[in-house]
A and B are shown apart, each in its own frame.
Chain A
């Protein structure tokens, strides 16, 4: 995985430099078994450090949390992160963001699966209905809210999500999982085996989602089926380690009827990708990582558009050894080509383009004195629209006691133009009411963050981050016929906080709050007729509260409760709602687990996104799941 949080944490982390091995082990020997089990260790990267040392707003969704929540899809899993806003838009589509600007084609949050971007740089955004992962093989999902542009590049403005799957060595054996319920059914299979110095696994997953209902009980045509297969192999010795992995998928909705004479056939998506990674531990203590992948995706949506995209990505990074200065540098090149057939709503002119992106980055982590660490980073990224973007970042972290960390950060991040901003036409046939802006440039955020993290007692840990994003050149339009330009500016500020409390071994309670306040405005000379309160720009709740309780009951029974409260969305209005999910699981033997999951238990139905006349509502529903390993 490219530049995962653990690595990032290392770059930004704050620990006494070069703590002697014997201090570490003698300190470890003082710990109880339980404390030792809680100890965060480095395993992914030499630079990796304890999460509590990372100078950023990072939340990690662990495999245990994924399993115990009963989530079956990636977007649903992201509800577990208290620093994200997740709103379901239909049976499989989601609006997901951090720190505001949430909309159905959210474009300010970068998402990677095992180092491969699933945020498409051609259209800027994530097609959530095309992203499937084998949940049981995910090691963790690292969610960073706030900019990560100095490491990850343009588009990592409001956050970065890294989905990291387990090494094949950790997934040997067979696993069968099946679920059936009122609104959803699915099955997943995995088989892993070791060979020589490594291991390989293969998986297949199939899911079905029933259509949703509107408020007036009309059925939406969003019934979905989706299948995916893939593999991952990891091998290597002491100095070199290698990973090769790939996936292929296909999914489709039901047929969607007609708009006048035009038939809206089913949405049909498919894709495949292949990635290779080589990591070498140099004898001098440095670490080199080289990664390359190809990604093909196709989306056939007669309503919106029908893009086919191919991406080739090459990436290199080198972590230099050092004590007072730890330098990490790297370079990357990405090539992308698309071909977009028109839909009813949009057409792209020209219909095909080839784009390329290149980047260079360097980061120095400086140990100023014991407990005080500064990190300076700079990324230069080129793109075909705006030439070179400069993405700097400065962080300071002060670990003023063993279990308290205060950090601050200044960054500049951009959302670079994509095909959508420059080449779109609306509707899909003339006369056009909206056209892409030939002069559309990057949206820019200058960001200040202050955070504090502590673990005052073993049973309690918490994190708080206050942030302000100063936005400039955000996408707006001119008067009709609308041409896209960059004339929205303003501030978004807020607070993200979460805590985990484990009063007893058998019970843990975690909660989070996510407050976002937006103050956006059109520039004086803007002729935008819509203004800043429209849901192609954003439709964000003021707050989201979450509370999760996890019980380990006798007889191998686990009971998990997840409650959330989401504030009203302003325009179009979606009422505030509270919902509760429950999972009851029984470990029949070590290898066989039965569970029942109840979702949205507090109401018969509730909406989460969209206007009253077209939006989906989600029902209270149950499903049963069985998971068998052998």
Chain B
């Protein structure tokens, strides 16, 4: 009898399964953390407005920079390939110095660049470079967007003041899904 009950329950489960209908969706299987972060960088080019003064001239490309250690490999290049922003082709540049960084519209700073961060941020002061980092505490130190990996998901922490100071306007579509952070008073810049 026990076996019968077991079978009945298993059958019931099978029926439940069979009756569960699902529509095709956009699910993507298991991307790596930095694939998702690369796509975020690309999305930022869509959700942030740069002033004309951010570019040296009308035909200059839109530069996504990776400062110091590059965790993306080929993925970031793959993401921006063939893309453009307001007619400007998107390009990826690996940069090592603050001077090179100042020519980027988006600058990703890997979490290993802790020591150079404050110096880099001072050098970028008043430049319209959207700074993005996954370094813990980065947003409080003045980085505009911190990518936080929490429970296997990438979250956004945005320092709106910092972006505003750089004359960048972040779309409400992005802000809505983000945690808003302020620069920690009494520290840094």
Contacts and interface: CB of A to CB of B under 8 A. Distances in A.
Are A and B subunits of one complex? yes
Contacts of A62: 150-151
A524 to B, nearest CB: 16
B30 A403 contact: no
A21 B35 contact: yes
A172 B32 CA distance: 24
B165 interface: no
B144 to A, nearest CB: 15
A39 B154 contact: yes
Contacts of B155: 37
Contacts of A40: 30, 152-153
B36 interface: yes
Given A24-B35, A37-B156, A40-B153, A493 B28 contact: no
Given A29-B79, A37-B177, A41-B36, A401 B9 contact: no
Given A41-B32, A452-B17, A466-B10, A403 B27 contact: yes
B180 interface: yes
Contact of B13 (A15, A197, A464): A464
A455 B35 contact: no
A15 B30 contact: yes
Interface stretch (A47-55, A68-76, A379-387, A619-627): A47-55
Contacts of A493: 5-6, 9-10
Q: For the complex of A and B, list the 10 residue pairs with the smallest distance between their C-beta atoms, beginning with the closest.
A: A466-B13, A15-B29, A456-B22, A49-B30, A62-B151, A452-B17, A28-B39, A519-B2, A41-B33, A27-B28
Contact of B40 (A36, A51, A173, A458): A36
A590 B36 CA distance: 26
Nearest to A517: B5
Interface of B: 2-3, 5-6, 9-10, 12-14, 16-17, 20-33, 35-36, 38-40, 42-43, 47, 74-75, 78-79, 111-112, 114, 136-137, 148-156, 173-174, 176-177, 179-182, 184
A516 to B, nearest CB: 11
10 contacts: A25-B39, A27-B26, A27-B28, A40-B30, A52-B27, A172-B137, A450-B10, A464-B16, A505-B177, A630-B184
A6 B152 CA distance: 9
B23 A456 contact: yes
A630 B185 CA distance: 10
Contacts of A454: 20, 22
B27 to A, nearest CB: 5
Contacts, number: 192
Given A15-B30, A21-B75, A468-B9, 13 more contacts: A15-B29, A24-B28, A25-B39, A28-B39, A41-B36, A41-B154, A42-B152, A49-B30, A140-B152, A404-B22, A466-B12, A491-B2, A493-B10
B111 A169 contact: yes
A53 B9 CA distance: 24
Contacts of B2: 490-491, 519
B96 to A, nearest CB: 17
A16 interface: yes
Nearest to A23: B28
B39 A36 contact: yes
A25 B36 CA distance: 8
B153 A402 contact: no
B114 A194 contact: yes
A16 B28 CA distance: 10
A60 B75 CA distance: 29
Interface in A455-495: 455-458, 462, 464-466, 468, 490-491, 493-495
Contacts of B184: 630
A199 interface: yes
Q: Tell me which of A36, A60, A170, A493 has the highest count of chain B C-beta atoms within 10 A of its own C-beta.
A: A36
B24 A402 contact: yes
A26 B35 CA distance: 10
A124 B164 CA distance: 59
B182 A590 contact: yes
Nearest to B83: A29
A507 to B, nearest CB: 15
A495 B17 contact: no
Interface in A1-32: 6, 13, 15-16, 19, 21-22, 24-31
A173 B137 contact: yes
Contacts of B75: 21, 25
B94 to A, nearest CB: 16
Nearest to B22: A456
A41 B5 contact: no
Given A490-B2, A590-B182, A41 B151 contact: no
A33 B24 contact: no
Contacts of A590: 179-182
B154 to A, nearest CB: 6
Nearest to B40: A36
Nearest to B182: A590
A406 interface: yes
Contacts of A19: 29
A34 interface: yes
A51 to B, nearest CB: 7
A351 interface: no
A241 interface: no
A517 B114 CA distance: 55
Contacts of B39: 25, 28-29, 31, 36
Contacts of B9: 466, 468, 493-495, 517
Contacts of A630: 184
A34 B75 CA distance: 21
Nearest to B30: A49
A307 to B, nearest CB: 36
A16 B30 CA distance: 10
B62 to A, nearest CB: 16
A423 interface: no
A221 B177 CA distance: 49
Contacts of B137: 172-173
B10 A25 contact: no
Contact of B28 (A13, A28, A170, A494): A28
A19 B78 CA distance: 14
Nearest to A166: B150
A273 interface: no
Nearest to A402: B27
A64 interface: yes
B41 to A, nearest CB: 11
